[in-house]
């Protein structure tokens, strides 16, 4: 078997990442050696592979669904927004510069098609199947000429395309039909059919519409996936996280101790790697929420200032919102604060930034004895260490170089009292360290909170991935899906007018 499939969507956030992970987990349970692939990802939520390459966290999660180690080949192009108009371009795991959207789509993107196709070909030479994820919608006709992630990669590699639609949003039949009808004949020939996502209710009520859709397009529906809470693992974009919502919709067990712990995460601009707090949210009795007002810090037992692609901009935002003063008051009162990556940098004394914001010398919050200088070379590592008497693993993604001038060592950063700072993302996924850290927070906050002794974040993630595989196995036509992956799009698929505009 040397199969492949592109999972496209009618819109952004239709469920492509989750469906791709589900198909990967279903296949690997059938004994198939499978890998994920996304040609181009736009995300501030990234990960570092063992060889020191930066890729989207969604592809790292999909690699885990495949039970393989993630590599740069699985996400050859990563775009990390630095504002409304520009992004850092990461090519095969390494940053190669900043570029505006106009500059990227004006020629650079087309030149990357060869790199993308080479990466996909290398993966296909090593795996039985490669399940690719598209981006946005394949019917974005203004971008089709330069497309390297949807129909551009499907055409270049001869991949069949499965279009996912989120029925919970409404209008899914129009979205399916319109997606096909806005594609050129050569692109339409690769669109094999549809997959309905997030359906609530009786599937028999949907079937007449699916039959009519088949009559209109000549394309079948490969499954109807029911709505399930708590499946949003390792989302692509932290900018879409609700400021008032909890991190996870899924219920957790009641607290082991008498009290809960309340964690407030400052929703800074260009927030990156917001998944750092997922391991906290998975703990029984820990309540995590994102906040953007100083009064929301008042009842928090722990305040986290997360990573950001714009440290100086986040610092200004905290000051404008009054959150900086609120954090400073907490530190003065000895109440717990944790800064991660960019959040760690802005807790320091000052920042010299001629790289990210080009703001030069900027005074930090002065809450940790740290000075930060931004280097042009990005640090991309997978460190292992010890803190609070426990082994810790993490990953680093940053331009800022911290000079620690005092305090007690804490991972690569420091702590002063109950204020901690580190560049390490993912440290809280280390179960022993997380429990030790929460015990310190609870003691400092005066809470009778006890960490659950048996919580394994890795096991919880595996359970979620298995749930995704179950969705595909139980609610998709897996025989038809197998044929599609193995043999490609059916021949003779009809053209749906009007097709792509000239």
Q: Which two tokens stand for residue 244?
A: 């008032």
In the Cβ-directed half-sphere of 377, how many Cα atoms lie within 13 Å?
5
Strand duo 337-340 + 360-363: pairing = unpaired
Dihedral in degrees, nearest 10, Cα atoms 115, 120, 126, 132: 150
451 within 8 A of 283, measured Cβ to Cβ:
yes
Which residues lie below 8 Å from residue 158, measured CB to CB, with a gap of 6+? 190, 488
Q: Strand, helix or coil at 395?
A: strand
Question: Is 105 one of the annotated active-site residues of the chain?
Answer: no
Angle formed by the axes of helices 457-475 and 431-445, nearest 10°: 120
Question: Is 350 one of the annotated active-site residues of the chain?
Answer: no
Catalytic residue selected from 341, 398, 399, 423: 341
Q: Give the closest residue to 195 by CA, choosing from 177, 179, 176.
A: 176
Catalytic residue selected from 399, 418, 425, 475: 425
CA dist 396 and 61 (Å) reads 17
CA dist 217 and 221 (Å) reads 11
Q: Strand, helix or coil at 302?
A: strand
Residues forming the active site = 341, 425
């Amino acid at each position: 078997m040397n199969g492949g499939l592109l999972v496209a969507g009618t819109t952004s956030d239709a469920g492509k990442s989750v469906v791709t992970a589900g198909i990967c987990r279903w296949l690997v349970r059938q004994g198939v050696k499978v890998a994920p692939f996304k040609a181009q990802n736009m995300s501030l939520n990234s990960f570092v592979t063992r060889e020191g390459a930066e890729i989207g966290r969604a592809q790292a999660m999909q690699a885990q669904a495949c039970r393989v180690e993630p590599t740069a080949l699985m996400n050859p192009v990563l775009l990390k927004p630095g504002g409304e108009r520009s992004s850092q371009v990461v090519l095969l795991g390494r940053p190669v510069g900043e570029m505006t959207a106009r500059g990227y789509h004006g020629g650079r993107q087309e030149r990357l098609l060869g790199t993308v196709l080479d990466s996909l070909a290398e993966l296909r030479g090593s795996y039985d199947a490669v399940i690719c994820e598209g981006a946005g919608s394949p019917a974005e006709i203004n971008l089709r000429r330069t497309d390297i992630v949807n129909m551009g990669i499907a055409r270049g590699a001869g991949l069949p395309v499965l279009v996912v639609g989120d029925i919970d949003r409404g209008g899914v039949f129009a979205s399916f039909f319109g997606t096909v009808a806005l594609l050129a004949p050569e692109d339409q020939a690769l669109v094999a059919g549809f997959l309905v996502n997030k359906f609530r209710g009786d599937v028999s009520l949907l079937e007449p519409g699916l039959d009519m859709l088949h009559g209109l397009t000549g394309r079948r529906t490969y499954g109807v996936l029911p709505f399930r809470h708590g499946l949003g693992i390792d989302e692509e974009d932290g900018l879409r996280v609700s400021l008032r919502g909890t991190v996870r919709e899924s219920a957790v067990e009641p607290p082991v101790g008498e009290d809960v712990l309340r964690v407030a995460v400052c929703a800074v601009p260009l927030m990156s790697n917001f998944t750092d707090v997922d391991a906290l949210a998975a703990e029984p009795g820990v309540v995590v929420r994102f906040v953007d007002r100083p009064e929301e810090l008042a009842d928090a037992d722990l305040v986290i200032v997360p990573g950001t692609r714009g440290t100086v901009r986040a610092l200004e935002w905290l000051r404008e919102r009054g959150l900086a003063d609120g954090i400073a008051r907490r530190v003065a009162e000895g109440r717990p604060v944790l800064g991660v990556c960019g959040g760690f940098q802005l807790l320091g004394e000052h920042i010299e930034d001629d790289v990210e914001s080009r703001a030069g010398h900027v005074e930090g919050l002065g809450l940790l004895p740290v000075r930060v200088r931004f280097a042009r070379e990005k640090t991309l590592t997978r460190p292992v260490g010890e803190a609070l008497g426990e082994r810790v693993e993490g990953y680093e993604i940053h331009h800022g170089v911290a000079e620690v001038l005092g305090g007690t060592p804490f991972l690569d950063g420091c702590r002063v009292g109950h204020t901690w700072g580190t560049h390490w993302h993912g440290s809280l996924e280390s179960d022993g360290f997380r429990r030790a850290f929460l015990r310190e927070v609870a003691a400092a906050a005066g809470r009778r909170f006890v960490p659950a002794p048996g919580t394994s974040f890795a096991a919880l993630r595996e359970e979620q991935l298995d749930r995704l595989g179950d969705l595909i196995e139980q609610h998709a036509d897996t025989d038809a899906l197998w044929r599609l992956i193995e043999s490609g799009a059916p021949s003779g698929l009809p053209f749906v007018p009007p097709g792509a505009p000239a």
